[in-house]
Amino acid sequence: MSEFNASAYLLDRHVEQGDGHRLALTGMAGDLTYAELHDRVLRTATGLRAVGLRPEQRLLMFMADSPDFVTVFLAALRIGAIPVPVSTMLRADDLAELLRDSRAALLALTADFAATGSEAAAAAPELAGVLAGDGVEMATDLPVHALADLADAEPDGHLYPTTADSPAFWLYTSGTTGTPKAAMHRHESIRVVCETYGEQVLGIHRDDRCLSAAKAFFAYGLGNSILFPLSAGATAILEPAPSRPELLAERARVHGATLFFAGPTFFANMLRADLPGDALGGVRLAASAGEPLPAALYHRWTGHFGVDILDGIGMTEMLHIFLSNQEGGVRPGTTGVPVPGYELRILDEAGREVAPGTPGTLYVRGQSTATGYWSRYKASQQVFQGEWLCTGDTYVQDTDGYYSCMGRTGDMLKASGIWVSPAEVESRLLAHPAVDQAVVVGAGDGDGLEKPIAYVITGDAVTLTEDELIEFCRAGLPSFKRPRRVVFVDALPTTATGKIRRVELRAHAAGLLAGDRQESVPS
């Protein structure tokens, strides 16, 4: 097999084609051209080899979105090592667990996360050293290597002879089976997602500037902020601070964003932030993933900001989006059609393919699939089934070929003996002009029978009663699908990647229909 290295694919070819002067990275940390980033990556690669990082050893990255993040990620790929970006929202004990699980040789940190990193490092006996960004101060007996010093190393241009199938990077995910596990990706996976979703759905080109509310420590943000822009010779706008609507609108204006990436919760937050309609005036297209984008939210957002949203679904195990709406062919409330290069099928509980209009579990096949989970044999068997990957999502396909998500397979409700999609009830709730967000979960009534419970966020100064909203649902849904209770909340509990933590809402809802009312909702 011929040599292929994803770092060279993302960087070297642009410099070799005479585009080294073009802007690769921008943001509050400053600008780097492709030539400058290439030089920094080559020097850091030399430095990583000098401090003892070897091919296929893991380098765990606990880092903000920054030029240092991009440099470390690409330099590790270049020398055949395995970068492992992880959530910067982890506590020290959780970070230590991932250090031990990955057997990481090095831990890379940026300044805001030095204290957590120091505590975690003390509980990771196989860790051999720390890579420290500017401003990192640590209390540790381990060798600490300043990234600035590594970047002063003499570049030797050596590129480790990886192939398309060589291990490239890991991404931790709770995925479809609950506990954190590392999805292992090949070098080729990067090229695949860039040349399928990046080129054929986003239509990304060298004059684009990409801004993502989703951070680069997980798959969606990694593609948005690093892989897609660099693959096209475009520009990544990096924001290290936690994403907030007003902040990202300002960054979009200052740095000229043309592609904007977020999830449904963030799009809803942008509407609640009362941003002016021209706040994203330079953005030509937005993309959504993480959870289904309700049709009502799509219409409100596009109507206010005048920017179309392509809703899609991706998985860490597939690296990025494999099912998406396409520009000029958006069907609100659906997840669209297969991304070119991917095949989908919907199977029933017996493993038989179902006809259009019949719900079942979604499976996907494509060349960006991870090779499996690190040290998780049984979990790998459950998810990676031959050439096909089980998404764990319940979908239905219409006669026009559009796919609609009915929720995680485990989130489906069975009310009055009939399956109910939370997404369908949520869509009805969001059709009410006073409702900004809605999440529906199942809870047992006094007889132990499952019924829908809705958690709802309304606009400021809105007066809306539970009975009024239930009656609104009754007018648009069959009786068995209407919520039995509506709980008004100020915020919804979310994961580090912005997904709703439905498990916490289910726990809260458990006693509501039986009369055991709880006082507060987790956030």
- CATH code of residue 109: 3.40.50.980
Residues of the chain with pLDDT under 70: 174-179, 410, 414, 416-419, 446-449, 496-497, 514-523
End position of a domain, from candidates 352, 375, 408 = 408
Q: Which residues does 410 contact at the CB level (< 8 Å), separation at least 6?
A: 392
Tally Cβ neighbours within 10 Å of residue 215: 27
**Per the domain annotation, does 97 fall within a domain?**
yes
- Region label for 44, one of left (φ > 0), alpha (ψ between -120 and 50) or beta (otherwise): alpha
Q: Which residues does 164 contact at the CB level (< 8 Å), separation at least 6?
A: 1, 2, 4, 186, 187, 188, 191
Contact between 249 and 239 (Cβ < 8 Å)? no
Contact between 270 and 301 (Cβ < 8 Å)? yes
CA contacts within 13 A on the Cβ side of 424: 19
Cα torsion angle, 413, 392, 196, 83, sign: positive
Same domain, 213 and 288: yes
Q: What pLDDT is attached to residue 415?
A: 72
Tell me how many domains the chain contains: 3
Q: How far apart are CA 44 and CA 50, in angstroms?
A: 10
Q: How far apart are CA 155 and CA 153, in angstroms?
A: 6
The two three-digit tokens of residue 380, written as one number: 């790998």
With H, G, I as helix, E, B as strand and everything else as coil, classify residue 467: helix
> What is the gyration radius of the CA atoms in the chain, in angstroms?
23
- Indicate the length of the chain as a whole number: 523
Exposed/middle/buried for 295, CB within 10 Å: 0-12, 13-18, 19+? Answer: middle
The two three-digit tokens of residue 438, written as one number: 């809605």
What CATH number did the domain enclosing 440 receive?
A: 3.30.300.30
Beta strands at 388-397 and 403-408: parallel, antiparallel or unpaired = antiparallel
Q: What pLDDT is attached to residue 477?
A: 86
**Per the domain annotation, does 106 fall within a domain?**
yes
Same domain, 142 and 210: no
Q: What pLDDT is attached to residue 516?
A: 44
The two three-digit tokens of residue 318, written as one number: 């597939």
Q: What pLDDT is attached to residue 89?
A: 87
Cα torsion angle, 276, 279, 285, 288, sign: negative
Same domain, 445 and 472: yes
Cα torsion angle, 466, 468, 469, 470, sign: positive
End position of a domain, from candidates 146, 169, 202 = 146
Same domain, 220 and 269: yes
The two three-digit tokens of residue 514, written as one number: 């039986």
Same domain, 403 and 443: no
Same domain, 199 and 284: yes
Same domain, 371 and 332: yes
Q: What pLDDT is attached to residue 90?
A: 87
- The amino acid occupying position 179 is T
What is the pTM assigned to this prediction? 0.85
End position of a domain, from candidates 408, 437, 457 = 408
Same domain, 404 and 416: no
Q: How far apart are CA 206 and CA 20, in angstroms?
A: 12
Tally Cβ neighbours within 10 Å of residue 311: 31
Same domain, 215 and 342: yes
Domain that holds residue 447: 412-509
**Per the domain annotation, does 120 fall within a domain?**
yes
Q: What is the DSSP letter of 465?
A: -
Q: How far apart are CA 266 and CA 221, in angstroms?
A: 14
Q: Which helix (H) or strand (E) holds 503?
A: helix 502-509
Same domain, 398 and 439: no
Tally Cβ neighbours within 10 Å of residue 508: 21
**Per the domain annotation, does 154 fall within a domain?**
no
Same domain, 189 and 206: yes
- Tell me the longest C-alpha to C-alpha distance in the chain: 72
**Per the domain annotation, does 152 fall within a domain?**
no
What CATH number did the domain enclosing 321 receive?
A: 3.40.50.12780
Contact between 193 and 6 (Cβ < 8 Å)? no
Q: How far apart are CA 280 and CA 249, in angstroms?
A: 6
Q: Which residues does 427 contact at the CB level (< 8 Å), separation at least 6?
A: 294, 295, 296, 333
Q: Which helix (H) or strand (E) holds 299?
A: helix 295-305
The two three-digit tokens of residue 108, written as one number: 């890379």
Same domain, 39 and 114: yes
Residue bearing tokens 């695949």: 192
